[in-house]
Structure formats: C-alpha cells, structure tokens
Homo-oligomer: A and B are copies of this chain.
Amino acid sequence: MPSPDEPRLALDPIDAARENWARHGWSSAVDGMGAVTSIMRVQQIVLSEVERVLKPFGLTFARYEVLMLLHFTRTGALPVGKVGERLQVHPASVTNAVSRLEEDGLVERSPNPADGRSVMATITDEGRRRAVAATDQLNELVFAAWPLDHDDSADLYAHLKQVRRAFRDFA
C-alpha cells in the first residue's frame, strides 16, 4: 500500500481510505465507510455540475426543485409548508428559497384561503418559462449525459432506494 505521504494523484482517495480502514482492523465497517464516502463525494461533484448549469438561469438546485414542484402541481400553487414536506427540506430553507424566487418574480406568495396561518406559493408565468428552460439545459447537459447506462442506473437507483427506505425516507 502506498504511504499517504507520497503524492499519488493517480490513486483513488476512497480506495486509499478503504485500505486504511481494513489495515486498522475495522473490516466490518469498510463497505459502509466506502459507500458513505462515495456518496458524499459524488454528491459534491454532481451538485457542482448541476449548479454550474443552473447559474445562468439565476437558480440554485434548491430553488430549482421548488420551482419544478410548483410547475408539476395541477394549480401551480402549494402551501409553503407542503413544499418543504414534499422536498424533505428544512422549513427555514424552503422559506429562504421561496423568498428568493419571489424577489426574482418567479413565484408569488399569498395568504392561504383555506388556512389563515399558512402561506401559498404560486409559480408565475415567468417562473414556468424559467423552470422549463433550465430543465431543457439540465436534461441535455447532465441528466441525458449521465455516464451510466440504463441497467447500471437502475441498479444504482434501487440500491440508493434501499438506503432511503432503511432510513425511513418514505413509507
């Protein structure tokens, strides 16, 4: 095993971490550590790729997700709290995303007629145009260019779903 002191840029740092784990007698944790570290690293790579594509549209991934959720909703409107539930993000993050989208004219906020304590977010026409234009680019540059073929993608999706299910991500 190469010493971590030597510059070995050719070496996969996660393979190196797996070797270190095994060498320290933590063999039963090697698979989990390797999976967790890979997920962290791939998320970082993919998020930066997605945000690079979204930047010209004035969107982050968080704001893009809010916009698409509203776009897909029959009426184009949802209570802000519901947006957080559906996207499984913290209420403060949703409030922040919706505020930024409103400043940019992509979403409007109004009192919820069905519940005076809650606020509705409604996508604007410009919001819909922006959502579709951003999706066209994301589809072309990231999603349809995804480096795994259909079968490998399906396997990856199934394994990640198993992890999500184990952590009670959905019923």
- Contact assessment for A164 and B74 in the assembled complex, using a CB-CB cutoff below 8 Å: no
Footprint of B on A, CB under 8 Å? 3-5, 7, 9-14, 17, 20, 26, 28-36, 38-47, 49-50, 61, 68-69, 72-75, 78, 82, 85-88, 135, 138-139, 142-148, 150, 152-157, 159-167, 169-171
Copies assembled: 2
Closest chain B residue, CB of each to CB of A167: B45
Alpha-carbon distance A68/B37, docked complex (angstroms) = 13
Closest to A139 in B: B29
Q: How close is A76's CB to chain B, nearest CB, in angstroms?
A: 10
A73: B residues at CB distance < 8 A: 4-5
A144 in contact with B32 (CB, 8 Å): yes
Q: What are 12 sample pairs from A and B whose C-beta atoms fall under 8 A apart?
A: A5-B73, A9-B170, A17-B68, A29-B139, A30-B143, A35-B148, A41-B88, A147-B165, A147-B167, A148-B163, A155-B155, A159-B159
Contact of A143 among B29, B86, B147, B161 (CB under 8 A): B29
